[in-house]
Amino acid sequence: MEANATIQNNQEASAKKSRTKKVVLLGLGTLALGTLAFFGFKHFTKKQNENNDETDQTTDDLDSKTTVQNPPRNKPRTGLPSPGIGDAFPLRFGSKGDKVRLLQQALIRTYGAGILKKFGADGDFGSELQSALRSKGYGVPLSESEYNKITGKKEEAQTPPPPLVTFDPAAIAKAIYTAITGKDFNTTITLLKAIKSTTDYSLVSEQLKNNYRIAGVRQTLVNASLGTFTESSQKAKVQEAFKNMGLKYDGTKWSLSGFRNNT
């Protein structure tokens, strides 16, 4: 009996010892797992912070090295003329060129250098010139007539061109033929006076001789005129007209430009 009791006690002690050992091992495993998880989380957190620090550092470095260039803000320049207007009339703010310079020089001659004391005669129509003109009662833009008044330039007179007169030998010959055959002395003299040279005379006489017959005969202008108007007063006027054309008379015959012939 005692032996059985001893065996039973030993078995219970062994079982108890085994259970204790399992509990210790389980506790150690749990502790190890917890420790591992703790250090793993700590390591992960550290790496994450390091990554964040690197990102921040990179951003900081980029920010420190990169120059942000803001576009410049150009302020409008006041009081200066706009380019490219030229000096066509009317002259205005922004005009530039020789006309503007002559205008400025004329103002300085008339009113003294003080009227354009800042820029003088620089050829640019700016605020100074604008103020100077207005102070003297001139309008801006400045018309050409006011410009001429200031600079003393006389406006060119607009003279109409002379009427275009076309010398038509055929028409004059026909009119003379009509006047001679109609015994119209005054018209004949008027037509003869329209012939201004021996060349014109030759052209008209040729037309008259080739295209018309007077008293049934082809005649030169001299023969036709003097043969029709025979009165002394009429002949004198006809001869005067021929002399004005440049014809020469030697007492018996008329000549053209030095040639003696039957004209």
pLDDT at 51 over 50: yes
Does the residue 174 lie in any domain?
yes
The answer to whether the beta carbons of residues 208 and 219 sit under 8 Å apart is: yes
The answer to whether the beta carbons of residues 107 and 115 sit under 8 Å apart is: yes
Q: Is the pTM of this model over 0.85?
A: no
State mean pLDDT over 135-144.
93
Give first-to-last CA distance, the chain, whole Å: 197
Structure confidence at residue 192 as a pLDDT band (50, 70, 90): very high
- Tens digit of each residue's pLDDT (9 = 90 or more) over 199-253: 999 999 999 999 999 988 999 999 999 889 999 999 899 989 988 988 888 878 8
Angle at 259 between CA 253 and CA 263, to 5 degrees: 45
Tell me which of 124, 151, 178 is where a domain ends: 151
Does the residue 12 lie in any domain?
no
Can you list the positions of beta strands (E) in the chain? 248-249, 254-256, 259-260
Q: Pairing between strand 259-260 and 248-249?
A: unpaired
Instruction: For residue 239, give its domain range.
Output: 169-260
Gap between the Cα atoms of 8 and 13, Å rounded: 9
Structure confidence at residue 63 as a pLDDT band (50, 70, 90): very low
User: What tokens appear for 52 in the block?
Assistant: 């964040």
Does the residue 254 lie in any domain?
yes
Q: What is the pLDDT of residue 251?
A: 79
Q: What is the DSSP string of 114-164?
A: GGGTTT-S-SB--HHHHHHHHHTT--SSBPHHHHHHHHTPPPPP-PPPPPP
Question: For residue 194, what are the contacts with CB-CB under 8 A and spacing of at least 6?
Answer: 172
**Whether 198 and 146 share a structural domain:** no
Does the residue 80 lie in any domain?
no
In terms of C-beta density within 10 A (0-12 exposed, 13-18 middle, 19 or more buried), how is residue 172 classed?
buried
Does the residue 56 lie in any domain?
no
Count CA atoms closer than 13 A to 123's CA, side-chain side: 8
Does the residue 215 lie in any domain?
yes
Q: What is the number of structural domains in the chain?
A: 2
- Tens digit of each residue's pLDDT (9 = 90 or more) over 92-115: 999 999 999 999 999 999 999 999
